Amino acid sequence: MPLFNPHDLRNLLQSGQRVLGLDPGSKTIGVALTDVSLMLASPLIGLKRRKLGENAQELAKIVRAQDVGALVVGLPLSLDGSFGPAARAASDWTQALSEKLGIPAGLWDERLSSSAVNRFLIKDADMTRGRRAEVVDKMAAAYMLQGWLDASRLEAPEIF
């Protein structure tokens, strides 16, 4: 299944369907979910990173229970914006997961999302390191998914 840009992916959704956002790390996958109006992304859970098939089974339960119509996965571009080995691996993983779940997917730049969330949790929420570790992945997924939501609401550029 191909990967879609934000505008096209949003247009594939049926009315009332949600979007699932994933921020896959080496140990944990942060999971976030949109509301049905596609205005707000909220942190959902952090899943232990396992083999693709095992994580797909866990995510399939959420997809069914929450009427998820699309998947957005964080793309770890290099700081200069280039598409390196980590981005290639994320792209391949996303395509395989999309096929297993049977829903369309897209990628969204997640550079610095964990850093932004950590800064917020330290400075504004005054959270301890242990508590931050419990929530940072799912909050980073929500931060990334909110960026995708905001971009997907913009009009598609006209092609002459």
- Shortest CA distance to 137 belongs to which of 15, 20, 45, 11? 45
Give the integer Cα–Cα distance in Å for 152 and 60.
Answer: 24
Residues 6+ apart with CB under 8 A from 43: 30, 31, 32, 135, 138, 139, 141, 142
pLDDT class of 114 with cuts at 50, 70, 90: low
Is residue 159 scored above 60 in pLDDT? no
Q: 102 pLDDT exceeds 60? A: yes
* DSSP type of residue 3: B
Q: Residues 32-75: pLDDT tens digits?
A: 999 999 999 999 999 999 999 999 999 999 999 999 999 999 99
Amino acid in the structure at residue 109: D
DSSP codes, 76-139: ---TTS---HHHHHHHHHHHHHHHHHTS-EEEEE-TTHHHHHHHHHHHTS---HHHHHHHHHHH
Summary mean pLDDT of the chain: 87
Say yes or no to pLDDT of 115 above 90: no
The CATH number of domain 6-152 is 3.30.420.140:
yes
Residue position matching structure tokens 């929500």: 142
Task: Tell me the pTM.
Answer: 0.85
